[in-house]
Structure 1
Amino acid sequence: MELFEPEDERLNAFVFEYTNVQGATVVLGEDDVRSFKYLEDPTGIGSVAGNDLPWIRYADILLSRAEALNEVQGPTQESIDLVNEIREAADVPPIDLVSYADKESLRDFILDERGREFHSEWLRREDLIRHGKFIEMAVARGKPAKDFHVLFPIPQSELDKNPNLEQNPGY
């Protein structure tokens, strides 16, 4: 949650505390915050939930383009404008080219903006792996992450079906 600015509208999708059925207030820790970004359809039955979860969003396209432009050309006004289009929708102040004049600082900012924009959309792990920061950030949060955790284990049923497969290292 430390990625978010206090006025960020995206924070409204999270529940930090609630009153349980016994009437007690439950305060959630940082790793336990609940998101109501994509609520379950209350009329859904079984696998027919009626929820249409996005596979890709326009924000992903804009931030991916901003990231690619930064990697190829360094910070440009176009990459800043793309990021600001996302920030404007979240009602947070825009960034400027002067504040992010080098490739590394804009790269880090875009990664953090992706974390804010796509929270609870299952993209953060892959973004952090792609930037080589997954293990570092997990360890910083007190998680016992090891280098091999960037890969998932191959299910035993798949290994049993194909003797040519080898389990990913560490599993």
Structure 2
Amino acid sequence: MFSTNIFLFSFIFSLFCIRIDSRLTDTWLMGPQYDANGEQLKGTYDKQGEPFVYTKEVPSASYTSEMEGYRMNKFEVAEGSTHNSTTDIPVFRYTHVLLMKAECLLRTNQGGAGELVTQVRQRAFKDSPAKATVTDEQLRQNSAYQYGYVENYQIVDPGNQDPIQFGRLLDEYAWELVWEIHRRRDLIRFGIYTKKSWLSHKPQGDYRTVFPIPDGIINANPNLEQNPDYE
């Protein structure tokens, strides 16, 4: 599960193509790490005693060093937290409403989607307000992400390379809502989840757009049938 998440983090992180987008540093913990007194932290595991520096590179999905890979830093961490956290995360927020409305406008061939997405982006481009502006036409363009199956940081199998309708809007969903438990549903809705490859993922059948019903639930109710292809 952890290695899968590492690749997911890399997938979303790679979409932040503009460094002046403050969501990059607001979302990800990177570089040298310090304690509350300004002292640099030291490694305690496989890099014991070395200066603690989070790096972007994640060479393996099977094993990661304690410093490999940027970490999620989108939500405030309570002082004294260790392995577990009681931090609440948003389930539904207004920026998501604006993005969904923008998607509805695009899918029904109406104008105004760009203005809504621009409104969402303005918070992240305070130092360069002009960069926040996006148009309806831009949102209709393909995704900036290079889809394909990856080994050793190289795409070895491009897989399905069909353009994604409203792909730029899908990127906007990623930039704004990363770590808010929406991505799988977004990929399904945009027709990508069972069609394209990314990082360590290859398409594995359209039936995976729904989950299997747990055996315990089926055993408790003989009237239930397992979802197709999960038998």
TM normalised by structure 2 equals: 0.60
- State how far apart, in whole Å, the 2-side matches of 1:153 and 1:106 are: 29
Query: Partner of 2:73 in structure 1?
Result: 36
- Does the CA-based 8 Å contact 1:70-1:106 persist in structure 2? no
- State how far apart, in whole Å, the 2-side matches of 1:150 and 1:106 are: 19
- Measured on the aligned residues, the alpha-carbon RMSD in Å equals 3.1
Q: Structure 1 residues 53 and 97, CA, compared in 2 at 3 Å: closer, same or farther?
A: closer
Query: Partner of 2:216 in structure 1?
Result: 157
Query: Partner of 2:229 in structure 1?
Result: 170
Q: Does 1:141 align with 2:199?
A: yes
* Percent of pairs with identical residues: 28
Query: Partner of 1:86 in structure 2?
Result: 120
- State how far apart, in whole Å, the 1-side matches of 2:210 and 2:164 are: 27
User: Counterpart amino acid of 1:109?
Assistant: R
- Does the CA-based 8 Å contact 2:139-2:167 persist in structure 1? no
Alignment deviations for residues 31-83 of structure 1 (CA, whole Å, 9 cap, x no partner): 85421112443468xx992x332121111011011111111124x2x211101
Three-state SS of the structure 2 residue aligned to 1:146 is: coil
Q: Structure 1 residues 36 and 132, CA, compared in 2 at 3 Å: closer, same or farther?
A: same
Q: Structure 1 residues 129 and 40, CA, compared in 2 at 3 Å: closer, same or farther?
A: same
Shift of 1:125: 0.5
Query: Partner of 2:43 in structure 1?
Result: 20
- State how far apart, in whole Å, the 2-side matches of 1:101 and 1:122 are: 24
TM normalised by structure 1 equals: 0.78
- Does the CA-based 8 Å contact 2:23-2:176 persist in structure 1? yes
Q: Structure 1 residues 52 and 140, CA, compared in 2 at 3 Å: closer, same or farther?
A: closer
More helix per residue: 1
Q: Structure 1 residues 164 and 29, CA, compared in 2 at 3 Å: closer, same or farther?
A: same
Stretches of structure 2 that go unaligned for 5 or more consecutive residues are 1-12, 33-41, 62-68, 126-130, 142-162
Q: Structure 1 residues 98 and 68, CA, compared in 2 at 3 Å: closer, same or farther?
A: closer
- State how far apart, in whole Å, the 1-side matches of 2:106 and 2:76 are: 35
Query: Partner of 2:91 in structure 1?
Result: 55
- State how far apart, in whole Å, the 1-side matches of 2:30 and 2:58 are: 8
